[in-house]
Every structure is written in C-alpha cells, then in structure tokens.
Amino acid sequence: MSLLQVKNLVVEFPSRKGTLRALDNVSFEIAPGEILGVVGESGAGKSLTGAAIIGLLEPPGRVGSGEILLEGARIDNLSPAQMRVIRGREIGAIFQDPLTSLNPLYSVGRQLIETIITHLPLNATQARERAIQLLKDTGIPAAEERIDHYPHQFSGGMRQRVVIALALAAEPKLIVADEPTTALDVSIQAQIITLLKTICKERGAAVMLITHDMGVIAETCDRVAVMYAGRVAEIGPVYDVINRPSHPYTAGLMACIPDMSEDRENLNQIDGAMPRLNAIPQGCAFNPRCPKAIAVCGQKRPELMVAGNTQAACWLHDAGGSI
C-alpha cells in the first residue's frame, strides 16, 4: 500500500482577472521507504506540490479539487489545527535555506527539544537526550556541546543537518525535502544525499525530493516525476527516465546536461520559456517548445500513457510513435 497518494490535485490562485491554475490534475504515489524525485524548470510546480502536501499553501492559494491521502486517510481537507498535529509528527519538511528554517534567537537544542515535546510524550530531560542523539545521527560532531549553540555558529552544511534532525524529530513517515542540497557545495551535497538514503533505509521513511538537479536525482531517487507547467509530464524509475526519456521535455532536460566525453562549444537548450499561469497553451502545455509536436498536441491535453517502463503525457505514444 502506498504511504502517500496524490490524486488529481488542483491548486488555484484566485485573482481579479480570473482563477489561475498553478497545479492541474497532478497525480502520483510514494511507497514506504521510497525516494521519489520531483524535477523540472523553475515555475513547473514542484515546490507548490510539496507545500500543498504539507498544508503550507500561502493565501490566496488553495486546493481547488483532488485529494491528498496519507496512509489512506485524506489530509487535504483538514482544519489548520488538525494539520498542525500531522505536520511534524507524520510529515517532516526540509527546506532549501536552513537559515530561514531555524530561529536565530534560539539555540538549535531549544528548537529541537520544543519540536520533540510538542509531538512525542517525552519530558524535557528525555527530549534533550533524543535531540542529542538526532544530532549525532545526522553527523554533528560533539553533539553534547553543539546542542546549546545558535544557528550562526554552524556552517551551511551543519545547519542543513540540524534542519534534517528537526524533520526527523518526531519520526515522521514522510519527509518533503525541497531543494535540500542547492545551497551547499558539492562535497556537502554528497553527504546530505547519503544521509537521506540512510534515513529511508534504516527508518523506512518515504521521501519526496524536490530538485532541479538531475545529478542529485540519479544519485538518490528510486523513481522520478518530471513536471512542466503544473502537470506531470513523465513519471517512472530513475534509470529509465534518465536513459530512455519518453517525453520530449524530459529528453530536452537530459540533453542540457554537459557531457564530459564530448567536445562541444555550445550546450543544448530548450527553446522558449515556461508559460505564465495566465497563458497556458491549449492541449499539451509543452507543444509550443516541442520539436516533435504533431497536430493533436495543440488541440487536446494528453493524460499519462504507458511508454515502456515509464508513463508519459505525450501523444506520440498514443500514436505508437517514439521519442
């Protein structure tokens, strides 16, 4: 059974000129112990999907329709008070910039202990012991001493480890990690990736990893969902999506990655830009930028179709074509 199910999720932003659809019928599942990568250009809807799952949509954003289920129970229609119980206890979050996730006025220990006491039946002494162990588990040296330090006394990589410790404080079943390695150098990125994989393996937690870095996806994830203009363009096992992309957009993303074995003056690029919310093209949203577009692409929106070992929202597969 899937731990998380997102079914036909629509996120809307009402405006004076009409309602804008930022997410349009997004569907996917994550199993316990699985890492699902979510990748795409800026504006594709990756972070918004994570925010909707956590229940942190900024007004006037709202879930217009669809369902979000955690262990079979619907959570998208819960009140803010009910969602606060789930957030932290059942769903943890790791954000891109640890400085914005940590309160600079409080020691990291105080922030960890407060989170633990809020969600678990532990007293202050037990919570402190657990906080120290979490810091050790996430690779913070001299945790007994560092627990009383403030965020500015940690390096960027160490702050991100503290944020991961906060996300794990109440043993959540699902972790939404939004660009957790973007602000870190390459060596620290590798350590954080290893840590996320260890969390899944040892704790059985599921991870939704939001990133724009296909290298991180290849190194970390079991499956990947490629998003474009608020829709899932392709979803499937990482190896198949990376090595045999079934959607022209995925193929374009992969072609943009520099190949160290080739000597080229110019990198490949996808012509055009992500459409604005008030100017989503009819049919397939990618069709104005697609080098393989056919007539139906501009007329009717494709749903996810079987394309080898993956699923792709592309009419080429309905017509028996190939990328």
Give the pLDDT of residue 150. 97
Q: Among 143, 168, 157, which residue's Cα sits nearest to residue 191?
A: 157
Joined tokens for residue 319: 């017509």
Range of the domain at 315: 248-259+267-323
Quick one: which H or E segment has residue 241?
helix 238-243
Joined tokens for residue 116: 């633990």
How many domains are contained in the chain? 1
C-beta atoms surrounding 19 within 10 Å: 12
Task: List the chain residues with pLDDT less than 50.
Answer: none
Residue 52 lies in a domain: no
Sheet of strand 4-15: strand arrangement? 18-30, 4-15, 62-70, 73-74
Residue 59 lies in a domain: no
Residue 189 near residue 216, CB atoms below 8 Å: yes
pTM value is: 0.92
SS3 label, residue 248: helix
Residue 4 lies in a domain: no
Residue 143 lies in a domain: no
How many CA atoms, within 13 angstroms, populate the side-chain half-sphere of residue 321?
13
Residues 217-255 pLDDT 10s: 988 999 999 999 999 999 999 999 999 999 999 999 998
Residue 124 near residue 117, CB atoms below 8 Å: yes
Residue 95 lies in a domain: no
Residue 119 lies in a domain: no
**Calculated CA dihedral for residues 247, 251, 252, 258, nearest 10 degrees:** 160
Give the pLDDT of residue 259. 73
Residue 81 lies in a domain: no
DSSP codes, 44-83: SSHHHHHHHHHT-PPTT-EEEEEEEEETTEE-TT--HHHH
